[in-house]
Amino acid sequence: MPRPVSSIPNLGPASEAAFARAGIHSAEEIEAMGPDAAYERFLLAGNPPHFIGYYAMLMGLQGRPWNDCRGEEKARLRARFDAIKARVSAQATPIQGDGKLESVFDELGLRPKR
């Protein structure tokens, strides 16, 4: 029986639901993918980036409390987090609409005149 994502220390039901939106349904999947690949998939699913959530997951995978991350280690993890966000941002494709919503915004005066 697979372990739920929430069995990883520091991750709870909200994290479990967010990872499920990314198609990740078990702690074993996160462990097999590695934390960076799992978090990248998490972001690609439309979940918002959150540095504390990222390093809390990493600390949990190591069996450490979320607030155990400090100093140089935290700085290295921040660089990894920023690199993941940059990769996801480079992969993101802007949604191309039909312009109708923008027209409504213009009518209502919600966008600056062009």
Find where tokens 């990883």 sit: 8
Q: Find the range with the poorest average confidence among 11-15, 19-23, 87-91.
A: 87-91
Q: How many CA atoms lie within 13 A of 58 on its CB side?
A: 21
**CATH architecture of the domain covering 5-108:** Orthogonal Bundle (1.10)
Average pLDDT score over residue span 59-74: 96
Residue pair 61/42 in contact (Cβ under 8 Å)? The answer is no
Q: Find the range with the poorest average confidence among 12-21, 44-53, 94-103.
A: 94-103
> What's the confidence (pLDDT) of residue 113?
58
Tell me: pLDDT of 40 over 70.
Answer: yes
Tell me: pLDDT of 29 over 70.
Answer: yes
